[in-house]
Amino acid sequence: MRIVVTGLSGNLGTALLRRLLADGGHEIVGVVRRPPGDEEPYRQASWVSLDVAQEGATQRLQEVFAGADAVVHLAWGFQPSHVTEYLDRVGVEGTQAVLRAADAAGVGHLVHLSSLGAYSPAPPRSDREHDDGTPVMVDESYPTDGIASLAYSKEKVAAERLLDAYEKAGTGRMVVTRMRPALVVQGAAGSGLLRYGLPPFVPSSVISLVKVVPLPPDLAIQAVHTPDVADAIVRVLQRRAGGAFNLAAEPPLTAARIAAALGARLVPTPRPVLRGLVAATWNLGLQPLDPGWLDLAFLVPLMSSERARRELGWTPGLDAQAALEELLGGMRSSAGTASAPLRPRSVAGELRDLLTRGPISHRRLP
C-alpha cells in the first residue's frame, strides 16, 4: 500500500513507521513540519515538509495524497499552550485540510487520531461502578463533547464534528476511522513529553529525585503503549475498518500506582489545591503545562477497548503500569530519537531554545 502519514516523525508516528516497515511492502510518505535526518527508521520513508495549518495546505496535501491507498492523520499541536489560535489552526483547520485533500485525491481510507480527550466528562461518581464494584467502562457511543477547560480536548471534539459532517453529507468515497487512544506512552517519548511539561532549566534527571507525589487519591487515568496503538492502526488499515475504536491497556493508572512507579510516597492532595498551583505557575510562565490537562485526567471516563479486541483482534502487548515505567525510564535518561519532536532533551538545549525562540508555552510558530 501507499500510505501517507501526517506527523510521522512524532511519538506515535515513529512507532507506526517501525510497524509498517516490519510488515514490508509499503510505500510510506511522511508529512511533517521538520523532516528528520537520514537515521533509522526515518531514512526508509519519503518526506514532505509541510505544516497542515499553513495557508494553501489543502492544495499541497492533495498533490501529496495523489495515488495513496490510505492517509493516517496524526499531526497535532500540544504547545504553545498560551497561543491557542495556532493550536486551533493545527487541530481543526489542519484536519479540515487533510479531510478535503484526501477526498479530492480519491483516497479510499482516512484514519484520524482522535483521543480519550474527545469524550464528555464521566458520569457522576455514584454511577461509575457496577453493583459488584467493577468500574463502568464506556464504549465508542459515549458522547464526545470534550472537557471545556482544555484547548486540546475542544480541538479533538471539533475535528470529530468535521468527520461527522463528512460522513453525513460528504461524497462517501472514503472510509473514515477514528482511533481514540488513552495516554500514549513509550520510553522514546520521554524527552518529548518532558519538554511539554517541565521548565527548561530543570534537568530530566529530576525524575529520579522525586520522593513524594502530591495527587488526589481518587485519580484514575488510562494509558496505552505507543507500539500497541501503532499495531491497532495497522490492523485497521489491513481491514479497512471504519468507525471509532477505543484503545487502552489495563490497569488504570491510579495515584497510588503512579507513586509506586516513581518509587515515591503518595501525599493525598485535594484537587483544587493541585489545580490552583498548576494554574498559577502556568499563568506566570514558570512551567508550560496547561491546568486543563489536570481537568482531563480527573474528568474523562474509563474506556472499554472491547470493539478493538473483537473486530481487530487487538490486544495490548504491554500493560499500562509497565508502559508507564518504561516512559519514566525514558524521562530519567533523556531518551529520544533523531526526529525533531522526539530529540533528546538537555538543559543546555532547552535554554538555547528559550533564548532564541522564547518559552515553549508562548512560542509563536509560522
Digit-coded pLDDT (tens) for 221-254 = 999 999 999 999 999 999 999 999 999 999 999 9
Q: What is the pLDDT of residue 333?
A: 93
Instruction: Write out the residue range of the structural domain in which residue 316 sits.
Output: 2-357
**71 occurs within a structural domain:** yes
Q: Is it true that the peptide bond before 199 is cis, omega within 30 degrees of 0?
A: no
Q: C-alpha grid cell for residue 187?
A: 520510553
**48 occurs within a structural domain:** yes
pLDDT in tens, 289-323: 999 999 999 999 999 999 999 999 999 999 999 99
Q: Report d(CA 128, CA 26) in Å as an integer.
A: 43
Query: What percent of the chain clears pLDDT 70, i.e. is strictly above it?
Result: 97
pLDDT in tens, 142-197: 999 999 999 999 999 999 999 999 999 878 889 999 999 999 999 999 999 999 88
Classify the phi-psi angles of 365: left when phi > 0, otherwise alpha if psi is within -120 to 50, otherwise beta.
beta
Q: Number of structural domains, the chain?
A: 1
Work out the pLDDT band at 357, boundaries 50, 70, 90. confident
**345 occurs within a structural domain:** yes
Strands 2-6 and 70-73: parallel
Burial track 186-220 (b if 16+ CB lie within 10 A, e otherwise): bbbbbbbbbbbbbbbeeebeebeeeeebebbeebb
Q: What is the 3-state secondary structure (H, E, C) of 97-153?
A: HHHHHHHHCCCCEEEEECCHHHCCCCCCHHHCECCCCCECEECCCCCCCCCCCCHHH
Evaluate whether 215 touches 269 at the Cβ level (below 8 Å): yes
**364 occurs within a structural domain:** no
**366 occurs within a structural domain:** no
Q: Which of 177, 148, 159 is nearest to 290 (CA)?
A: 148
**365 occurs within a structural domain:** no
Evaluate whether 2 touches 25 at the Cβ level (below 8 Å): no
Q: What is the pLDDT of residue 126?
A: 56
CATH number of the domain to which 135 belongs: 3.40.50.720
Bridge partners, residue 28, by sequence: 3
Q: Report d(CA 343, CA 359) in Å as an integer.
A: 17
